[in-house]
Amino acid sequence: MADLDTKTTKSPPPPPEEPEAKKLKMSTTTTSDDEETTTVDTTGNTKKQRYKRRKIAVFFAYCGVGYQGMQKNPGAKTIEGDLEEALYLSGAVPEQDRNNPKRYDWARSARTDKGVSAVGQVVSGRFYIDPPGLVDRLNSNLSPQIRIFGYKRVTASFNAKKFCDRRRYVYLIPVFALDPSSHPNRESVMASLGSENELVKCLECSERGRKVAGLMGKRNYELRGASFESGISSNGSDAKLDSIVNDENGVPSVIGDGENQNSESTKEVKVENGDSGINQVEYSTGILGPNEVSIDLGSSSGVEENGNGEEKPEKRSDFNYGEKERERFNRILKYYVGTHNFHNFTTRTKAEDPAAQRFIISFNANTVVTVEGMEFVKCEVVGQSFMLHQIRKMIGLAVAIMRNCAPESLLEKALQKDVNINVPTAPEVGLYLDECFFSSYNQKWKDSHEELSMKAYEEEAEEFKMKYIYSHIGLTEQKEGVVALWLHSLNHRNYPDLQAVDNENGTNNNNTDAENKIE
């Protein structure tokens, strides 16, 4: 009985303890948010005004030429470094916080590579925005190639990086780059001799069927024309357009100097289904004079020798970005859409790293833009975030496939986790950040805060883009032939992985020996 009494009188379990309230994070700013200034009113009496720091999002654009990217890097000239200094000189940041961005909650929406530009970049932080005129003060302390459009008040917890849902980048690739017969490498020229589709060598680039040392960075040039009349940084103190580029064997090739022929000629042509809508441009060919530049637009410039050593006129390519080419290029770019492992499209990121998983929302190339008399295909990619060189490598492989340097099936292999492929990297000059989006933030705070978008700055942004970014891309290709030189590196000697066998057909699409398979 005693045992029964013990069981029936057992005490109930103690009530569960309530979890401790989550502690709020302390502000990284240790100084006061207030700043006192002394002013004199109309009666001669002194009056103290107190300003408070405000959390804001700053919208701005920049041309990346001459800069080592967006992110601040000790010893390097960066966009962020110049912007931080301008914030201090403009009174938005106090003396004690100078060169210490953590103290004012600094954050950026996107990091751009060396030489890459931006139209819709956004940074956030806690700054003194009074007295009025902060935007004008900032622009007066910045180079003309960095332009502040404006700022908007945001919530105290806002972070330009964490609250950015997606980012849109644009890459302008010359139309001629998609033409397999334009700027062919030496192996392709030799292999085509005697065939119906015989290729001809480039007058300016015939001996560049190899990687060109320093092609992606150490270029010297002086930007000219109304678009670059002042304030543009160049990669060299006394650089000139008559720069000499050496190939890996040390053979110099002089890039001629040509004046800007059409600094205002920038237009876009939308390609609709069923109608290409392209204004075809006839490009002059033939032997160049001493001060002319061989750009080889849409064909292989120069002349060719026949078996008797006599020169014969080149065969002009009739390539244009019409409906068929547009559909093929868009089909190739669509492989990237969705969630994939992009470890082959960046550097220093292993396939096992979760950071290699990225989500691409859309990727298309439906628009043709004419800049400085040259046609470019406008490739627009939207994604949550991108890794170092990812977009340039995606474009690089897509162009290689369009030029029949690699089979289309190679793209599927490159997105596999257990496959390692050396992917070509397109030049940085054609890439720019177009816009950052904050959809979730705007939806949540639509009743109390301004919408974060580029709508209010569209006209300013378009003007800046045409004057600095597009002009830079067009003039650089005209005077240096950056993409043209890069195309010669798209050969199987530099990129043996491009010879991957198409498993479906059992043969290589480029009609080359299929000895090097992707393991």
Q: Tally Cβ neighbours within 10 Å of residue 386.
A: 23
* Catalytic status, residue 41: no
- Residue 148 three-state SS: strand
Beta carbons of 83 and 146 less than 8 angstroms apart:
yes
What letter does residue 22 receive in the DSSP assignment? P
Amino acid present at 41? D
Would you give the end-to-end CA distance of the chain in angstroms? 78
CA gap 213, 249 in Å, rounded? 9
Report which secondary-structure segment, H or E, holds 386: none
Report which secondary-structure segment, H or E, holds 252: strand 252-254
User: Residues forming the annotated binding site?
Assistant: 169
Residue 189, CA distances (Å) to 180, 182, 313, 320 in order:
11, 11, 15, 21
List Cβ neighbours of 419 (8 Å cut-off, separation of 6 or more): 344, 413, 518, 519
Indicate which residue of 113, 296, 434, 497 is catalytic. Answer: 113
CA gap 391, 424 in Å, rounded? 11
> Residue 405 phi/psi, 5° resolution?
-85, -15
CA gap 174, 95 in Å, rounded? 47
- Identify the residue whose tokens are 């300016």: 204
CA gap 11, 19 in Å, rounded? 24
User: Residues forming the annotated binding site for substrate?
Assistant: 169
CA gap 384, 361 in Å, rounded? 8
Q: Which of 177, 213, 185 lies closest to 489, judged by CA? A: 185
Query: What single string gives the DSSP state of each residue in 424-472?
Result: ----GGGEEEEEEE-HHHHHHTTTTS---SSGGGHHHHHHHIIIIIIHH
CA gap 261, 116 in Å, rounded? 25
Beta bridge partners of 57: 124, 152
Cis peptide before 424 (omega within 30 of 0): no
Q: Mind telling me the catalytic residues?
A: 113
